[in-house]
Structure 1
Amino acid sequence: MTERGGETDRRWEGDLLDLDAYLARIGHTGDRSPTLETLRALHRAHVLAVPFENLEIVLGRPVPIDLPALQDKLVRRARGGYCFEHARLFAAALERLGFGVTGLSSRVGMGSDRVRPATHAVLRVETAETPDTGRVWICDIGFGAGPLEPIEFADGAGTGDSGRSFRLERHVRALGETLAAEEWTLRERRAGGHGEGDGDGWLDLHTFTPNPQYVVDWTVGNHYVSTHPRSPFVRRPIAQRTGPDAHHALYGTTWVTTARADGSRRVRELEPHEVPKVLEDAFGIVLDAEDGAALVTALERLPADPAPED
C-alpha cells in the first residue's frame, strides 16, 4: 500500500469493511465474484434493504462519511442515509470484492434548468468482464428513488422494472469556441408516461461528468448538503424506501406511497407524533425514544410553507 497522500487517497478503504456484516445487512447470500451478475444482485439488494434518510441533520448531529462511522450507522444500527453515505459504503464493498470503482459527482435537476451544485454521488464500476467487453456501469444506489439495477455507461442505455424506466443520455455542452464538456443525464419515465420535463414524458433526474471524484471531494459536498441553509436536507426530515411493490417517501409530515406497477400515488398528512412509528413500519428506520421525541419536536416547529428548495 502506498503512503498516505498517494494512491491510498484515491481508494475506498474496502480493506477496512466488515464485508460479512455488510452482505448480511443487505441480504446478499449469492456469489461474491466481481461479475456483472453479482453487481446487479448487490445493487438491487442494497437499494431494497437500506433506506434513504437525513434524520441525523434534523436531530442536530453531523453526518460523517468515514467508513467506521458508516459501518456503525448503516450496517450495525441498520439505519439509512443519503447519497454520500450510500455510495461511500457501496464503493468500499465493491472495491473489497474486486470491482473497479470510480466516484462521480452529479447535479440534481429534477426537471429544472437551473445550474445546481454537484451534490449527488454515483459510481462508475468495472466488472471482471470489462477488459473483454469494454462495458462499464453506473451505480446509483443513493438517490432514494433511483433504479434497482446498474445502468450501462453508454448513450441511450437503460433499465426498468415494475412500470419505471431509466436511461442515460450523453450530451456535449459548448463552453466556448474551443472548449466543450461531456455531460451525462439520468432520466426517468414512470408507468403511463407520467412525468415532468420535455414532451416525451421523460424527467431529467441528475447530470454528471466523467471526472473522477475521491473521498475528499465527496467530503466537501457532504458538508454543503448537511449544513448549508439552502440545502433541502437541513430544512425538514426526508426519508425514502423502495420496496418490491411500492416506494415510500416522507417529506416533513407528508407520507407518499407510489405503487411500482402503475405509478398510482397515495398521499397522507401525518401528525408529528405519528412519524416515528411510520418510519419504523414503512421505512425500516427505528429511532430510540429520545431521538423519536426530538424528531417530533423538530416536526412541530416546521414552518407551514417551507422555502423553495435549491
Structure 2
Amino acid sequence: MNESIWNGGIWNGEDVDLDAYLARTGLSGGLRPDLAALRAVHRAHVSAFAFENLDVMLGRPVLLDVASLQAKMVDGRRGGYCFEQNLLFGAVLERLGFRVRGLAARVRMGGTKVLPMTHMALRVEADGDQWLCDVGFGGEGLLEPLPFRDGARARQGEWTFSLADEPEGPRVLRSLHKEGWFDLYALGAEERLPIDYTVANHYISTHPRSPFVSQVVVQKTEPDVRTTLTGSVLSVVRPDGSADEWEVGEGELREVLVERFGIELADDDAVTLARVYSSRT
C-alpha cells in the first residue's frame, strides 16, 4: 500500500482528548510509542470499556467518528462494540505516535461456517515488530497485544491465545479452552482504512440477522474471569471452564450494568432500555 497514506493521520488522532482518555483508563501522561506503552494502554482500555450494544437497543445509530466515540465512551462512561472500541483505540495510538493499520476478520467462535467480515482489529508497530491489537472482541478478547506472526502464543492473565496460519488460508486467532484450541476469528490479509468499516457497522447495527439487534449483549474480559450478559442471562466463566449463571430481571438491569460492567446510563436511557429489555426477554 502507498506509504503516503499512513503519514496523514488517517485515524484522526488529532481529534482525541488524550488527557480525558488517560483519566478514563487510569493512565498517566508521558507515554512513548514503544511496546511497554502499547501493552499498558491496551490492557487499560480493555479494563475500562465494556463491550456493549446498548445504543442499538436504544434505537440509536452507531456513530464512528472520533468525536462521537469520545463523547459516548470517555465522557459518557459507556462502552461499545468492535468498530467503536478499535476506532477510538486506533486514534489514541496514532496520537501517541504509533503506526496503526486496520484489519477485518470473519468471526468463527468455534464454528466452520464462512461468515462475512464483520469484525475489526488492528496491526500496530512497536519496538520494530508487528502486533495484533484488539480491544473490541468482548468476552473472549485479548487483554494485551499478541505478536503478529504464525505460531505466536501468549498467556494473558489466566487465558492463553495463539495465532496460526491455515494452509493457503487466513491467519486465525485462537483461545485455549479446556477441550483444546478454539477459533475466535480469521483475519483478512487486506489492510483497511477507517471508512471501510462503515458498511459492516451498518449491517451489524441494523440487519435482522445481526446478533446485536435482537437482544442486549454486554461483555467484559478480566485477567481471571469473563462476564457476559446475553439477553436476560448473566454468566461468569472461569479459566477452568466452570461457570455460574443468573437470570437478570428488568428491575436489576441498571444495577448489573453499573456493578458488573461499569456502564452508567442516563435516567431516560435507563428507562427506555428497561422497557426494550422487558419486551425482548
TM range (shorter): over 0.9
Kindly state the Cα deviation for residue 10 of structure 1 after the two structures are TM-superposed. Answer: 7.3
1:185 maps to which residue?
172
Residues 142 and 273 from structure 1, CA distance in 2 versus in 1: closer, same or farther, beyond 3 angstroms?
A: same
Q: Distance in 2 between matches of 1:27 and 1:8?
A: 29
Q: Distance in 2 between matches of 1:206 and 1:10?
A: 28
- More moved, 93-102 vs 154-163: 154-163
1:1-310 equivalence runs, <5 A: 11-29=10-28, 31-127=30-126, 129-130=127-128, 135-145=129-139, 146-173=141-168, 182-190=169-177, 193-194=178-179, 201-260=180-239, 262-302=240-280
Q: Distance in 1 between matches of 2:119 and 2:82?
A: 6
Residues 14 and 30 from structure 1, CA distance in 2 versus in 1: closer, same or farther, beyond 3 angstroms?
A: closer
Q: Percent identity?
A: 45
Cα RMSD (Å) of the superposition?
1.7
Larger Rg computed on CA atoms: 1
What SS is found at the alignment partner of 1:38?
A: helix
Kindly state the Cα deviation for residue 41 of structure 1 after the two structures are TM-superposed. Answer: 0.7
Unmatched segments (≥5 aa) in structure 1 = 1-5, 174-181, 195-200, 304-310
Kindly state the Cα deviation for residue 270 of structure 1 after the two structures are TM-superposed. Answer: 1.5
TM-score by length of 1: 0.85
Kindly state the Cα deviation for residue 65 of structure 1 after the two structures are TM-superposed. Answer: 0.5
Contact 1:17 1:93 in 2 (8 A): yes
Q: Which amino acid aligns with 1:151?
A: L
Unmatched segments (≥5 aa) in structure 2 = none
TM-score by length of 2: 0.93
Contact 1:31 1:38 in 2 (8 A): no
Kindly state the Cα deviation for residue 292 of structure 1 after the two structures are TM-superposed. Answer: 1.3
Kindly state the Cα deviation for residue 48 of structure 1 after the two structures are TM-superposed. Answer: 0.8
What SS is found at the alignment partner of 2:246?
A: strand
Q: Distance in 2 between matches of 1:22 and 1:225?
A: 26
Contact 1:123 1:138 in 2 (8 A): yes
Q: Distance in 2 between matches of 1:259 and 1:113?
A: 25
1:306 maps to which residue?
none
Q: How many residues align?
A: 276
Contact 1:53 1:81 in 2 (8 A): yes
